[in-house]
């Protein structure tokens, strides 16, 4: 045996066993992997084949513990479990392993562990359906109710309507079928899911939640099915498939064995995630998917993958960008965790406005304008309209029109504006009205100029123009080179042009749904049209700013390179069902003018349904919130967040909490303004964030959506619809931030968006 090249890997779920072990055993395991890789045959390791079995081996970790290993090939080993010495050698038939015939993944099951987990959950009095009904999308099939008779009949098994063959065709691990047949309650099913291979859990929960066989086949199985026929004897080929979730590098193995804070996201990507990370795309690619499906995780791994393909160097040819400063800081932290300083040193991380501002400053070093946020700009619009005595147009409308149509499409003249497309902008506007708007927009631009201010939309638009001009110069140089017959013998007219290159080789964008058209044009011009040029992740259901774009029209052609993640790693099935209810009836785009749905969006995590808290008035609501936060004293305050409709309400909640002695920090545009305390902010601030428990407060009619939105219903029906959708998306984002618990508060009349939750 060639000891120098021993491969040792860890199968997913074995890490969960390891996490539960005493610290000393983990330490021993760490030493074990080192010794094993040096020489598996070393006597101290007592490597031996388990009786009657060709692939399953055991090795000594310490006096008490043994590692169970699958021998994939001569020098290729896979740790599948870690057990107490006494548990390893009895009843070996219970240890089952094989290659899933649908996905080609290696699966390992300890039937005894699964059976015990199911038995622990036996609770005969409980019906099979979840404790509380959930909305239609995730509603389980009607289940038989327990009989009222003194002699209860046995409840029907959960999966009686499916044949064994159907279950295995979907990808359920074959050795588990007999146990699956015994399940009669949701609790038991959850017991099985805990120790079953990942796919088995996903399939069974989807069926349990009411999805049809065909839906599960399409949404759960097909995305992970092996593209080629599966050889169920070829373990080494199976180990290389994305469907087999294993550690692939020594470092990842060490981390998984070591880590108290071991991040599974760093190592065990879902097969659908890893395929997207590793794919070679012929041009810009997009990954969509509901909240918590790991889009950011995929973006981070994609960056790592791209960096690994780069030739050695010291520059930063990869740009990772997102919507705001806070999220960019978070990306930096996580990228560092994923790949250390070495990875970070090849990646530029900037939020997109910062990037645009840098481009503008670089081109106009004298530009000392102050950049103003949307609220200030709106105030300025109002002030101008007041001064002009203008009552035909309201500030919000003009601001949106200026930002989205005039700046968004880089409209440069009145004539161009007459012709500009106003798709999705609400009511039609006649030519004479356009002339009025154009004049007001010009006045407003001059006013800002005089004040020495600029808006972020102006910066984005300016940066886009500058970058496009720059790209034009790059093309001109290339043409010169070609005409001169090569690089060496050319005489460049512009001395600087020789150094002029695209700024990046690859661009990765998170939170893509909220970028402005100007941002896209700028990014497009920063990278050559080449393989793997732009990779963007985002979810239009979470679009909370009015920046609807059609990427194709901005030069970012994602057609044919669009994919979707559907398994939530954050939100429980209960919260997910309620959150989907909030979006009911709306339709969403795919960033490229087509429709996008959340079909297949699911979770295997289970928890309590959202708690609903009606209150008399705002004051009592705040007091009840303070009480709930005091009750949640089993977790750090920073893991709790409170989300409210307005800034004023955020301050009021913070005040009430302070009176109860609870520390709180507000989340500003750049993130939390302090380290300690419950996080409080408006719904806008929670984009991309995640908390253990979440309170959404003030979900009252008139606040969510705002009265001003409701007022548009008769004056501007299209804009009303759009604003209503945006308000729904805001609530959807807020509701999907929590991992464990969600509490919804309101006073007076509940928001119309809560109707699906209240009628259950």
Ligand X SMILES: Nc1ncnc2c1ncn2[C@@H]1O[C@H](COP(=O)(O)OP(=O)(O)OP(=O)(O)O)[C@@H](O)[C@H]1O
Distance CA 662, CA 656 (A): 9
Distance CA 252, CA 263 (A): 10
Toward ligand X, which CB reaches closer, 174 or 740? 740
Nearest distance from C-beta of residue 634 to ligand X, angstroms:
20
Task: Name the DSSP letter for residue 145.
Answer: P
CA angle 514, 520, 523 (to 5 degrees): 125
Nearest distance from C-beta of residue 668 to ligand X, angstroms:
19
Contacts of 50 (CB under 8 A, 6+ apart): 56, 57, 58, 68, 88, 89, 92, 95
Distance CA 77, CA 10 (A): 9
Distance CA 29, CA 257 (A): 7
Pairing of strands 65-73, 76-84: antiparallel
Residues annotated within a binding site for ATP = 289-296
Residues annotated within a binding site = 289-296
Pairing of strands 534-537, 664-668: unpaired
Nearest distance from C-beta of residue 274 to ligand X, angstroms:
9
Distance CA 740, CA 608 (A): 8
Per DSSP, helices labelled H in 389-516 are: 395-400, 414-419, 431-451, 456-483
Toward ligand X, which CB reaches closer, 115 or 510? 510
Toward ligand X, which CB reaches closer, 291 or 610? 291
Pairing of strands 678-682, 640-644: parallel
Toward ligand X, which CB reaches closer, 242 or 645? 242
Nearest distance from C-beta of residue 736 to ligand X, angstroms:
6
- SS3 (DSSP) at 408: coil
- Of all helices (H) and strands (E), which one includes residue 611? strand 611-615
Nearest distance from C-beta of residue 302 to ligand X, angstroms:
12
Nearest distance from C-beta of residue 598 to ligand X, angstroms:
12
- Of all helices (H) and strands (E), which one includes residue 595? strand 595-596
Nearest to 271 by CA among 402, 160, 140, 171: 171
Toward ligand X, which CB reaches closer, 322 or 409? 322
Toward ligand X, which CB reaches closer, 353 or 690? 690
The answer to whether the bond into 705 is cis (omega within 30° of 0) is: yes
Toward ligand X, which CB reaches closer, 395 or 544? 544
Task: Name the DSSP letter for residue 157.
Answer: P
Toward ligand X, which CB reaches closer, 467 or 511? 511
Toward ligand X, which CB reaches closer, 139 or 334? 334
Neighbours of 443 (CB within 10 A): 14
- Of all helices (H) and strands (E), which one includes residue 744? strand 738-747
Binding region for ligand X (CB under 6 A):
264-265, 268-270, 273, 289, 291-297, 539, 542, 569-570, 688, 690, 736
Q: How many CA atoms lie within 13 A of 15 on its CB side?
A: 24
Q: How many CA atoms lie within 13 A of 427 on its CB side?
A: 15
**Directed axis angle between helix 456-483 and helix 352-363, to 10°?**
60
Nearest distance from C-beta of residue 640 to ligand X, angstroms:
16
Nearest distance from C-beta of residue 603 to ligand X, angstroms:
10
Dig out the tokens for 330 from the structure.
């978070």
Toward ligand X, which CB reaches closer, 159 or 569? 569
Nearest distance from C-beta of residue 510 to ligand X, angstroms:
7
Buried b (16+ CB within 10 A) or exposed e, 689-716: bbbbbbbbbbbbbebbbeeebbebeeeb
Query: Is the separation of the CB atoms in 196 and 102 below 8 Å?
Result: no
Nearest distance from C-beta of residue 565 to ligand X, angstroms:
7
Distance CA 564, CA 557 (A): 17
């Amino acid at each position: 045996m060639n000891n120098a090249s021993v491969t040792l890997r860890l199968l997913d779920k074995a890490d969960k066993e390891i996490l539960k072990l005493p610290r000393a055993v983990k330490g021993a395991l760490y030493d074990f992997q080192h010794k094993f890789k040096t020489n598996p045959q070393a006597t101290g390791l007592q490597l031996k084949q388990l009786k009657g079995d060709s692939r399953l081996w055991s090795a000594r970790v310490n006096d008490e513990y043994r590692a169970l290993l699958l021998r994939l090939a001569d020098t290729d080993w896979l740790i599948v479990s870690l057990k107490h010495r006494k548990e390893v050698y009895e009843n070996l038939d219970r240890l089952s392993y094989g290659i899933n015939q649908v996905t080609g993944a290696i699966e390992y099951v300890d039937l005894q562990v699964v059976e015990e987990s199911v038995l622990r959950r036996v609770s005969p009095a409980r019906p099979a359906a979840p404790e509380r009904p959930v909305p239609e999308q995730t509603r389980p099939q009607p289940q038989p109710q327990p009989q009222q008779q003194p002699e209860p009949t046995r409840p029907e098994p959960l999966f009686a309507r499916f044949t064994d063959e159907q279950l295995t065709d979907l990808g359920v691990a074959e050795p588990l079928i007999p146990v699956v047949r015994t399940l009669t309650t949701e609790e038991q099913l959850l017991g099985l899911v805990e120790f079953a291979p990942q796919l088995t859990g996903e399939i069974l929960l989807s069926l349990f939640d009411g999805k049809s066989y065909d839906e599960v086949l399409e949404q759960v199985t097909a995305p992970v099915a092996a593209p080629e026929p599966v050889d169920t004897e070829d373990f080494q080929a199976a180990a290389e498939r994305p469907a087999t979730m294993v550690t692939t590098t020594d470092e990842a193995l060490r981390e998984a064995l070591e880590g108290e804070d071991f991040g599974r996201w760093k190592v065990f990507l879902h097969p659908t995630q890893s395929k997207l990370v590793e794919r070679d795309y012929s041009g810009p690619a997009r990954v969509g998917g509901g909240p918590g499906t790991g889009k950011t995780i995929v973006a981070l791994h994609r960056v790592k993958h791209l960096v690994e393909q780069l030739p050695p160097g010291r520059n930063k040819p990869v740009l990772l960008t997102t919507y705001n400063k806070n999220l960019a800081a978070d990306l930096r932290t996580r990228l560092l965790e994923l790949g250390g300083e070495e990875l970070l040193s090849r990646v530029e991380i900037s939020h997109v406005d910062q990037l645009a501002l840098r481009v503008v400053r670089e081109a106009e070093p004298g530009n000392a304008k102050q950049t103003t946020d949307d609220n200030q700009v709106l105030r300025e619009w109002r002030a101008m309209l007041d001064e002009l005595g203008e009552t035909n147009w309201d500030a919000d409308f003009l601001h949106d029109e200026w930002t989205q149509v005039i700046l968004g499409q880089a409209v440069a003249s009145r004539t161009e504006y007459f012709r500009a497309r106003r798709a999705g902008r609400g009511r039609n506007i006649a030519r004479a009205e356009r002339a009025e708007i154009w004049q007001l927009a010009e006045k407003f631009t001059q006013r800002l100029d005089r004040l020495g201010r600029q808006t972020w939309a102006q910066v984005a638009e300016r940066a886009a123009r500058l970058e496009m001009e720059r790209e034009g110069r790059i093309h001109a140089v290339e043409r010169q080179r070609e005409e001169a017959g090569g690089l060496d013998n050319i005489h460049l007219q512009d001395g600087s042009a020789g150094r002029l290159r695209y700024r990046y080789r690859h661009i990765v964008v998170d939170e893509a749904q909220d970028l402005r058209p100007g941002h896209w044009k700028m990014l497009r011009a920063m990278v050559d049209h080449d393989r793997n040029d732009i990779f963007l992740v985002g979810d239009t259901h979470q679009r909370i700013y009015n920046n609807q774009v059609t990427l194709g029209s901005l030069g970012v052609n994602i057609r044919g390179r669009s994919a979707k993640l559907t398994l939530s790693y954050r939100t429980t099935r209960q919260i997910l069902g309620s959150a989907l209810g909030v979006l009911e009836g709306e339709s969403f785009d795919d960033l490229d003018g087509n429709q996008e749905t959340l079909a297949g969006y699911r979770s295997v995590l289970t928890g309590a349904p959202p708690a609903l808290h009606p209150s008399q008035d705002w004051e009592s609501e705040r007091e009840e919130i303070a009480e709930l936060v005091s009750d949640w004293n089993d977790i750090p305050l920073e893991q709790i967040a409170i989300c409210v409709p307005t800034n004023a309400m955020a301050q009021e909640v913070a005040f009430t909490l302070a009176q109860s002695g609870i520390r709180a920090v507000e989340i500003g545009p750049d993130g939390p303004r302090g380290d300690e305390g419950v996080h409080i902010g408006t719904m806008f601030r929670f984009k991309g964030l995640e908390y253990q428990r979440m309170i959404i407060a003030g979900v009252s009619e008139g606040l969510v959506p705002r009265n001003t939105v409701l007022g548009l219903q008769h004056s501007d029906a299209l804009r009303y619809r759009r604003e209503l959708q945006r308000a729904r998306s805001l609530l959807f984002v807020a509701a999907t931030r929590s991992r464990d618990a969600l509490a919804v508060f309101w006073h007076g009349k509940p928001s119309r968006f809560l109707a699906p939750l209240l009628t259950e």
